[in-house]
Each structure stands twice: as structure tokens, then as C-alpha cells.
Amino acid sequence: MTNPLFDALFAPHSGRDTAFLHDVNGQTTTHGAFLDEAARYANALTALGVKPGDRVAVHIQKSPQALALYAGCVQAGAVFLPLNTAYTPAELEYFVGDSGAALFVCDPAEAEDLTPIAEANGCTLRTLAGDGSGTLSDLVAGQKSDFDTVARDEDDLAALLYTSGTTGRSKGAMLTHRNLLSNARALVECWRFTADDVLLHALPIFHSHGLFVATNVMLLAGGAMIFLPKFDPDIVLDRLPEATAMMGVPTFYTRLLDDPRFSTERAAHMRLFISGSAPLLAETHERFEARTGHRILERYGMTETSMNTSNPYDGERRAGTVGFALPGVEVKVCDSQTGAELPQGEIGVLEVRGPNVFKGYWRMPEKTAEELRADGFFITGDLAQIDADGYLSIVGRGKDLIISGGYNIYPKEIEMFLDAQDGVQESAVIGVPHPDFGESVVAVLVPQTGVTLDLQAIEAAVKRDLANFKRPRLTEIVKELPRNTMGKVQKNQLRDRYRSVF
Ligand code: MLC
Ligand code: AMP
């Protein structure tokens, strides 16, 4: 039986008594114990009626057990569907319904709120808390620690990751065994990860970065992880001496630099710091080197493609660039209208092709056809430029997108929500520079004629229905939105107006 991802990432660790996960309480799980736990999860999934190809939606805290659930899904041939812990019930309803999940695993504290959603969608609900307790783990505890791994093809789905869209509706990116495995292989090779590495892992595991880039790479390399529930500078600084490498979004690095305890000595033993998911300011790059002597290695990726490019491990890590295409990945900068490749040096839309590029959007063939060309090139929507030495830079976005602390926020989704509130004529949502999150959200509301808007009620509705990170940090009421002669809202003017509010 073959199961590409399980055979490469997990199976080799069976019976190994080497350290795999060091948790926040100082407990260590060995590779072998983790594999046993994964098999128990796979047995539990099967006992719950989860079949190969079924989606398992998870809305749970980060923990070693949550990772074992991921491994169990891969082993049982299920499709892992992790969801941002910040999502509200209103948001979760869409994901559970759209994916047709067979099983929904949530935190015990939210089981009451989410049971009606599971029931309405004919899906089983079980719980798993950050401390490993819950109705799923109760079932897991009674399972056998061996499991007949379910055979999968390279093109079978391993995961479904939802990404919001410019039209407001989230799309499930279908990631296959081939996609995830090829990317893990390329990254291990490029970044020289080995069984001697210990990765400081403070990222969430419901996104590509923390789950696939960090975890899959460490599984393939056979090393260990300091597996922290979240990025807490005190704990990160405390545990850094045990690590050899760290991956983070730029906010991790700016927060570390803001802490005087983050010194040359504390970082001296580290092999590698990697940044991605949002632009790393050249200034952060320089400050980091001045403080620690390390040059951060910046790479670029997306949910749909996992990682595409990286600065070199050896050779110059050039600030403000995301380096070169990974092995097996092709990149080209194209004219946004014609799709024709542009001469080196010109700015255009970046397209990528390779074994890392996803299979398409779940049950959205038209959306897939809009972004994934018949020849296999995926239109990223990022604006890029390649310099004379071949370094690629992401210079802007062709899509209306805000990235706050590494989380993507689509203005359209928030505008649609605000437009539906009482008394709102129309709205515009923009991203402006923020010292901690890189960018943050500003909303501008135009009231209907003669209406006095109840801002408090609107803010309460936002808090109830939208994930916290999407919440506008400033909401202003204006008479009208700036428009051009064609009637299009001039977001650039708004961005200029609010550029210094944070
Ligand atoms: C938390 N909050 C955020 C936020 N994270 N608001 C905006 N943007 C964010 N990213 C909210 C909190 O809910 C809280 O709201 C308030 O902001 C202050 O919280 P905090 O304590 O400062 O935040 P913290 O919990 O420390 O989280 C910040 C963070 C976290 C940067 C550590 O957001 C994080 O781990 N980001 C990583 C995201 C990531 O992994 N992205 C990868 C995507 S994959 P209130 O209302 O209570 O004040 C991808 C592909 C690729 O993009 O290339 O990798
Ligand atoms: P996501 O949809 O969450 O996977 O986010 C992917 C987007 O994050 C990309 O399309 C880019 O816009 C952005 N991104 C990721 N890494 C980088 C980087 N190193 N520099 C600039 N933007 C990045």
C-alpha cells in the first residue's frame, strides 16, 4: 500500500525514540509515540465513519494532539481542513457547509454553539481542547496504536485550505499529496534541514506556513520542534537557546527586535531565521542583522501553491526580495492584460507552475479556470519584478488584499458585511501601514441620506460575526467616497488620507 505523504513524512519515524515535540510545559513526545498517537487518531476517525476522501474540518487550539489529528487524517486517507481559531460561528457555518465535511472537530468550549451547524450539515461533531481533552480524545484513548495506512495516489487530496477571495466568498484550495510532498522536499533541500535541527514553532497550524512549511519540513528532515501554542515573546526568548532555527511572519521579528532581551548572544547559536507570509521591510532586515549578525532568509508563497521562491541559503540574502524559484518551480512575470511574459526588469503579474501548484478550488470550476491556466501556470495576483541577478521582488498586489500580521483580509468581504448594516449606504475598506501588524484595517462608511449611523451597533455586529483579525481598527463616517470619472472608488486616495493613523 502506498500513501505518498504518510510514507515520506510519518512512517519513517515509527518506533524512533528521538525527540519530536517539546511542548510549552516542558513535556517531550518522541517520534515513535507521536506515530502511535497518529494511528490511534486514524482508528478513531474510521470508527466515526470517516472514509478516504472525506473532509475533516478542525477548529481547535494548537497542541501536539492537534498535530496527531493531522497525521491521523493523512494515514486514514481523509482530507484535513484546518480553520483559523479566530473564526466566528457565522464564518464556520460556511466552511462546514461548503466543504461537506464528514467530521467537525472543535474546542469543547464552543461545542454548544457549533452543534446546530454540524447538525444542519449532516456532519458528526467531536471535541478536542488545547490540553488534549475532549470527546474525540476520549475515543482516541481506547484505540489501537497500529493502523493499516490507507492507500492514496499522488493526485489525491491531502488538505483543503480556505482562502478568501476578492469577490468575498472563500475558496477551498485543494492540495494534493504531490503538492505538499514536493514542496517539503524542495524546502528541506534549500534550507538544509536535518535530523539535528530543532525548530522554534510559534506559528498557528491552521495555515500553510505553520502546518506545511514548518511541520512538514521538520517531519521530512526528522528533526524536532519546540511546539508553542502561540507567539509569546517571553516564551520564545526563553526557549530560543534550545532551537537551531525559527520560522515566522515579519511581526514575529519586529516584536523580537522591540525587546531588549533579544540580543546578539541570545541568537548567536541559531542556524537560521526564515520569514514569509507578508513583506519583510528592508529596514527590519537591516535592524535584525545589526542586532544579531543573522540575515533573515525571506521566502514567498501562497496557500494555493505552498512555497514558490526563496532567498539562497548560501549566497546573498537580498533584503526586499524573495529570492529565486525553488527547485522544480517555474516563475514568470506577465502582462496583466495579455498574459504574455514580460522582459526581465518589468513589473507584471507573477505566474507560477510546478508540482507545488494546487489542483484547483473545491467545487468552483469557474474560479479555478480564472486563476489556473490550462498549461499549469497559476496566476498569483501578486505584482513582481525580477532584477538583473534573477532575484524576484513582490512589489505590490494586483488583488485588493490586506495582510495583517500574516493573516489575509479581503476588503470585499468586510465591505459586503458593512454595506448590509442598518443605515449604511456604502463602505470602503483599506489597508494602511501599521507598526506591529505591517498593515491594518480602516473602514470608511457613508450613511444613507438623513441617517445617523449607530457606530457602536455596527462595531458590535462586526465583533460578533467576523474574526477578530478582520475587525477595522478605525471606522470613520464620511459624506461620500472619492471616485474617478468612471465612478470607481479611489482607494489610493483613501490610503493616502489614512496613511499615518496608526
Ligand atoms: C491577532 N489579532 C490580530 C492579529 N492577530 N489583529 C490583526 N492582525 C493579526 N494578525 C488581534 C487579537 O485577536 C487581539 O484582538 C489583538 O489583535 C491584539 O492581539 P495580540 O495579542 O497582539 O495578537 P497575538 O495573539 O499576539 O497575534 C499576533 C500574531 C498572530 C502576529 C502573533 O497574528 C500570528 O501568529 N500571525 C501569524 C499568521 C500566519 O501564520 N500566517 C500564515 C498564513 S499562510 P483584541 O480585539 O482582543 O484586541 C501564508 C502563505 C505563506 O500566508 O506564504 O506563508
Ligand atoms: P495566503 O493567501 O494567506 O496564502 O497569502 C499569500 C499571499 O501572501 C501572497 O499572495 C503574497 O501576497 C503574500 N506573501 C507571502 N509571502 C510574502 C513575502 N515574502 N513577501 C511579500 N508578500 C508575501
Find the 3 Cα to ligand 1 centroid distance in Å.
34
Angle between helix axes 89-99 and 455-465 (nearest 10 degrees) is: 40
Query: Domains of the chain (ranges plus CATH)?
Result: 4-16+25-177 (3.40.50.12780), 401-497 (3.30.300.30)
pLDDT of residue 398: 87
pLDDT of residue 169: 80
Instruction: Give the global pTM.
Output: 0.97
Nearest ligand atom owner, CA of 395? 2
Residue 286 neighbours by CB distance under 10 Å: 12
**Nearest-angstrom CA–CA distance, 18 and 403:** 38
CB-based pocket (< 6 A), ligand 2: 163, 208, 276-279, 298, 300-303, 322, 380, 382, 394, 397, 403, 408
pLDDT of residue 114: 98
CB-based pocket (< 6 A), ligand 1: 203-204, 207-210, 230-231, 249, 251, 276-277, 301-303, 404-407, 437, 468-469
Q: Which ligand 2 atom sits closest to the C-alpha of 302? A: 4
The one-letter amino acid code at 85 reads T
User: Among the residues of 213-364, which ranges form H helices?
Assistant: 217-221, 233-239, 250-257, 264-267, 282-292
From atom 6 of ligand 2, which residue's Cα is the shortest distance away? Answer: 302
Asked if 60 and 83 touch (Cβ cutoff 8 Å), the reply is no
Q: How far is CA 293 from CA 143, 244, 261, 265, 274, in A?
A: 49, 15, 15, 10, 14
The tens-digit pLDDT sequence of the chain (502 residues) is: 699 999 999 999 999 999 999 999 999 999 999 999 999 999 999 999 999 999 999 999 999 999 999 999 999 999 999 999 999 999 999 999 999 999 999 999 999 999 999 999 999 999 999 999 999 999 999 999 999 999 999 999 999 999 976 666 899 999 999 999 999 999 999 999 999 999 999 999 999 999 999 999 999 999 999 999 999 999 999 999 999 999 999 999 999 999 999 999 999 999 999 999 999 999 999 999 999 999 999 999 999 999 999 999 999 999 999 999 999 999 999 999 999 999 999 999 999 999 999 999 999 999 999 999 999 999 999 999 999 999 999 999 988 899 999 999 999 999 999 999 999 999 999 999 999 999 999 999 999 999 999 999 999 999 999 999 999 999 999 999 999 999 999 999 999 999 999 9
Q: How far is CA 295 from CA 245, 308, 310, in A?
A: 13, 20, 13
- Distant-in-sequence, close-in-space partners of 320: CB < 8 Å, separation ≥ 6: 282, 285, 393
Q: For a substitution probing ligand 2, which of 305, 357, 403 has the most ligand atoms within 8 Å of its CB?
A: 403
pLDDT of residue 371: 96
pLDDT of residue 167: 66
- DSSP string for 64-75: HHHHHHHHHHHH
**Nearest-angstrom CA–CA distance, 245 and 298:** 13
pLDDT of residue 166: 66
Q: Which ligand 1 atom sits closest to the C-alpha of 213? A: 54
